Amino acid sequence: MDALHAKYPFFEGARDAVAGASASLPELVAADAPAVDRARERVERALLEGTVEPEAGAFGGSAVDHDARAELLSYPIARILVSLLDSEPAVEKYAAAEAATALSRLRADLERDDELRSTPTPTVDLDDVLGEFDLSDAVRAEPVRGSRDPSHYRIDVGPYLRLSSPSWGDSWRLVNRALANGAVRITREELLEALGSAIEARVREGLPFDLETGEGIAAELESRVSELKRLLSERTYAGPIDVVAPDLFPPCMENLIEKAERGVELSGPESFALMAFLVGIGMSPDEVVAFCADTSLDAEGIRYQTEYLADDRGTQYPPPTCETLSNYGICHNEADHMRVAADPLSYYETRVNDVDGDEIVDWREGRDEGERGGGAGDADGRAADADGRAADADGRASVDEGEPVEK
């Protein structure tokens, strides 16, 4: 079985490989094959950590590291499992995690030097992925001198609009783009983000399956589904911490905020991590808009994303763990903080609990009800927690000229 199919199980070739597998999915499930346990792990990590990589380590496509057959067959079984959870947010979160993992693998493939492509580890190139999603004619690299990899591309406006979202921020709006001859100019990284959207849409397609519980393969998977449901119901974030003390934020969140304050646009993963954290500590969408008023983050995009994250449909939207953030280059384990907690919320909660309550200055203190509810959030509102953020005037506050937080 081709290990590349296991690495990118949503490719058309992978679907054909599953269809031609010697054992049927019902037989695999009935036999409790390794692919079944891997499928459960796939769904569990998707819902709780935002990744589908094996706990044992990233799957690079080498049979030495993982069983490629079990890895490939776990994908269709995982889709059945997530369908049986009967939760739309779970389906959305699962598709997003599959896409994020695939995009991480794709980036790793593209970073490989040409001479390494002769190794047993299977890789894809950008042309392979564009062809997979019928984008070969819609995306064209801009020619560059003396560089092997183009830094910019032109993508036809139709696919651009289909694969991007207004929630990604102002810079993605068509009015802010160079548009010529029906094509939009984008960077290489932006092209990869658009491909991530295409991957997520393909994974999401057809889910959830219409399966009769208690019958056939659904009955065989009943214990696995119950295990996942129990895990989700026991997922404890003791509720929002409900104190906004920027001086106690985890290093990764401080870095993202500083980046956004310098005017730098955050990537999708960076933006999601920051918004999930701010919502997780109890901030309302209006408060997040006000808090990020003087950053590169777009108010409309903030509101859309925070309202979605704050949706009360369940625990399918926890902030990513430190491990996941590390994979995205967001967390660098400063001061070995992973020893304190495995995720930003737990780390923040620990720091808040370690400080005398009387010494904590809540950013929201001193703001009248109009400010807190309206989301106006002027600069004085941000700096007003003087003993917190403004106290570091030469560091954090002075960066207000600057960079927005990317996702």
CB hemisphere CA count around 256 (13 angstroms): 30
- Per-residue pLDDT band for 253 (boundaries 50, 70, 90) equals very high
Q: Given a cut of 60, is residue 392 above it in pLDDT?
A: no
pLDDT at 62: 57
Average pLDDT for 258-285: 89
Please enumerate in sequence order all residues whose Cβ is within 8 A of that of 360, keeping only pairs 6 or more positions apart, or say none.
243, 245, 248, 352
Average pLDDT for 15-33: 87
Q: How many residues does the chain have?
A: 407
**Residue 386: Cβ within 10 Å count:** 12
- Is the dihedral angle over the CA atoms 383, 387, 388, 390 positive or is it negative? positive
Q: How far apart are CA 37 and CA 141, in angstroms?
A: 42
Q: Given a cut of 80, is residue 293 above it in pLDDT?
A: yes
Q: Given a cut of 60, is residue 221 above it in pLDDT?
A: yes
Poorest-pLDDT segment among 18-22, 58-62, 396-400: 396-400
Poorest-pLDDT segment among 156-165, 304-313, 318-327, 361-370: 304-313
Q: Given a cut of 70, is residue 254 above it in pLDDT?
A: yes
Domain boundaries, the chain: 3-116+208-230, 126-203, 246-401
Q: How much of the chain, in percent, has pLDDT values that exceed 90?
A: 40
Average pLDDT for 363-374: 58
**3-class secondary structure, 367:** coil
Poorest-pLDDT segment among 66-75, 113-122, 153-162, 299-308: 113-122
Of 372 and 16, more confident: 16
> How confident is the model over 305-325, as pLDDT tens digits?
787 676 544 434 566 778 778
pLDDT at 315: 39
Q: Given a cut of 50, is residue 378 above it in pLDDT?
A: no
Q: How far apart are CA 80 and CA 11, in angstroms?
A: 18
- In Å, what is the CA distance from 56 to each residue of 53, 60, 239? 8, 12, 30
Q: How much of the chain, in percent, has pLDDT values that exceed 70?
A: 79
Of 388 and 235, more confident: 235
Q: How far apart are CA 343 and CA 103, in angstroms?
A: 22
- Is the dihedral angle over the CA atoms 195, 200, 201, 203 positive or is it negative? positive
Average pLDDT for 188-199: 95
Q: Given a cut of 70, is residue 142 above it in pLDDT?
A: yes
> How confident is the model over 40-86, as pLDDT tens digits?
999 988 887 788 998 876 776 554 445 888 999 999 999 999 999 98
Report the predicted TM-score, pTM, of the whole model to 2 decimal places: 0.64
Paired with 156 in beta bridges are 183
pLDDT at 297: 92
